[in-house]
Amino acid sequence: MIDTRRWGHMARRPSAESGTGRGLLVSAAASFTGYCALLALFRAKSFGLIPTHVLDRAPALQRLADAVTPDALLTAPARSGLGTVNAVLYALLVVGLVAAWLGCLWLVRRGRGPSLGWVVLGAVCFCLPLLWLPGVFSTDLGLYMFYGRMIAVHGENPILTAPIEIVGDPAVGWANWKHLPSAYGPVWLLFSGALSALAGDDLVTNILVYKSAAIMLHCLTIVAVWAVLRRTRPEVAAWGAMFYGWNPLVLFETVGHGHNDVMVALFLALALLAVARRTWLLAVVFLITGAMVKLYVLVLLPLLVLAWLLALPDARARGRAALSATAVAVASVLLLYAPLGGGVALLRNVRDNPAATEYQNSLWRLLVDKFVQSLAGAPPGLLTSRLDVVRNLLFLLAFVLVASWLWKRGSVAAFWGLVWVAYCVCAAWIWPWYLVPLIMLAAVAGAGIVPALSAALTLGGLLYWLAGPTRGDAAAVWIYEYRSVLLFGPAALLLLGYLVRDRAGRLLRRGGPAVGV
């Protein structure tokens, strides 16, 4: 944590303030340049990107990208010398972006940080090149757009109807997972319906509208993080807002790829703001609203209720609080689910979704592919069913440990963050955008192991895309096969370093006040 006396002393020194301001400006300019370079580089064929065609609407920007990108790099296939050069350039760019972000955070730790308006303005500037990315790795945005179109144009419920069932609409080609009814909740689907109604029939317009909405949600989350910290630890409000708002992985996955995890992060931040204000029932409502975007958010509800109970003086008050939390949670689910309905269809869709049934990108997938299957010689299906038991038990153990730590002392954001880390490690299906809510929680948690892990996972999440969207798009086969090591490797090395230096226990004890935010 920051020594507030030292911080206040430095804040009174004009030289420190001006030095911090100049350093932030240089680091921010370096970040903006890096995002622009990413835009130019992502026109290269070797990455196997899904084209967005947005640069067709910005010919001046396209000409500028042409001027700074050699044609030989743009046309090189993945498995070639120049394709490898593209991969190296991407790695250098993302390492540079992470370094610039960390530099900004270090400068704010040392001196007076910028105002909220400057933090938001910086985030918007970084978003602009990502808004115009000529290609993306993920196909999820196309699925979002068609689910929204099903509501806005066809009057269909995506929870009950799969895109492939919509006959005669050529836009069904936007969706990659055409056979899947929605596993996303009604809050996101209704928001998507409004965006699709605004965007109309044009693909590029839809992409720009959805990405612009991601920028708006991202900025609202920055404001919410700032508000939480201004109420609890005002001396680190700028640091926390920049930790989340200027985080390269967050920007890349929410604005660059348009993932709806930005909305999950917003509602979790609002729940933490309600906790800071001790309006616990409102915190429950916000958490349930986040779960109506992605259901896995519900795993955080027991910890929220536990934190509330610990803040109460006696068993009778705790009993009333538990009943109130249960009633409000159930009522919120029913109210938010009512506009689309569908009974238990959403639960069935989540259960049958590939994310719940397949192994992808995780360390568990690597374990099956490289070690367990070769040793046991058993069919992959049998191995994964056994590993499912192991994974779930490990997550349950981690959850119980976190709950026991919260019972003694801890902040809601820090322990939500630890549970999220455990979820990502234990999940069989994992993608870099799953880390977005974790980074927001780390921004509020402040000092400790959660922000450190989030910074390491930021680098890992960006390096993950060296593997490309498919095996054939990776510069080398081994990069694709060990993509989970790219994702989790920096965090594993960080933890190893802490263990070697015997600091892990001390960092865990550096949480906030008992039952705080």
Instruction: Please write the tens of the pLDDT for every residue from 272-302.
Output: 999 999 999 999 999 999 999 999 999 999 9
Q: Is the pLDDT of residue 514 over 50?
A: no
pLDDT category of residue 112 using cuts at 50, 70 and 90 = confident
pLDDT category of residue 17 using cuts at 50, 70 and 90 = low
- pLDDT the model gives residue 67: 87
Tokens coding 509: 């004890």
pLDDT category of residue 472 using cuts at 50, 70 and 90 = confident
The answer to whether 470 and 48 are in contact (CB under 8 A) is yes
Lowest mean pLDDT among 146-150, 447-451, 495-499, 501-505: 501-505
Measured between alpha carbons, how far is 288 from 266 in angstroms, rounded to an integer?
12
pTM: 0.91
State how far the alpha carbon of 231 is from the alpha carbons of 120, 218, 223, 226, 277, in Å. 19, 20, 12, 9, 8
Running DSSP on this structure, what letter comes out for residue 135?
E
Contacts of range 179-182, beta carbons closer than 8 Å, 24 or more positions apart:
180/143, 180/349, 180/353, 180/354, 181/345, 181/349, 182/147, 182/158, 182/346, 182/349
- pLDDT the model gives residue 100: 97
What confidence tens digit (pLDDT) does each residue in 46-86 have? 999 999 999 999 999 999 988 888 899 999 998 889 999 99
What confidence tens digit (pLDDT) does each residue in 122-168 have? 999 999 999 999 999 999 999 999 999 999 999 999 999 999 999 98
Indicate the average pLDDT of the chain: 89
Dihedral angle of Cα 469, 195, 296, 97, to the nearest 10 degrees = 50
Average pLDDT for 406-418? 83
The answer to whether 440 and 269 are in contact (CB under 8 A) is yes
Determine what percent of the chain is predicted with pLDDT higher than 90.
72
Lowest mean pLDDT among 121-125, 404-408, 443-447: 404-408
The answer to whether 178 and 164 are in contact (CB under 8 A) is yes
- pLDDT the model gives residue 151: 97
Q: Is the pLDDT of residue 448 over 90?
A: no
Dihedral angle of Cα 223, 228, 231, 235, to the nearest 10 degrees = -80
Determine what percent of the chain is predicted with pLDDT higher than 70.
90
Q: Is the pLDDT of residue 513 over 70?
A: no
Domain ranges of the chain: 4-508
